[in-house]
Amino acid sequence: MESLLGNRTRRADITFHRNGKIDITSRLTKMLDLGDGDVIDIAFDRGEYYIYRMREAKDLVGRHEAQCHGTHRGRLHPTRSMRAYSKRICTAILKASNATDKARIWAGELCEIDNLGKAVVIIPASNNFFK
């Protein structure tokens, strides 16, 4: 007998697509306190990749790369899932994760990093993360 789900039932918290689209789940937006119009970035330190809020929407004027916007704007069922676009970020993450089309990644724990503030580990230093 074969299981349809297998051992992996946890859904990814962030998805990077080859075309530059970044899908962020509500769990991750809550952890980072992301709001509509905030800009995200990825930091690399000692073999680990972190996602963090680079700038808040209130401090920005105009359009920016990796600016987050809600994926659903309905009154009855609002969502905190967000989407951003950055070809540079996606290319770097796909290369780091040895993926070609898309990388679905589970977020780690929230931490505080000097000069960045709140950040979440998305690619830890361990080699077996994507297996």
| pTM of the predicted structure, to 2 decimals | 0.84
* Pairing state between β 39-45 and 48-55: antiparallel
Distance between terminal CA atoms of the chain?
23
Tell me: pLDDT of 131 over 90. no
Summarize the confidence of residues 59-84 as an average pLDDT. 83
Q: Which is more confidently placed, 81 or 74? A: 81
At 54, list the tokens.
Answer: 């680079």
Please give the pLDDT value at position 127.
Answer: 44
56 CB contacts (<8 Å, ≥6 apart)? 35, 37, 38
pLDDT tens for 34-54 read 998 999 999 998 888 999 999
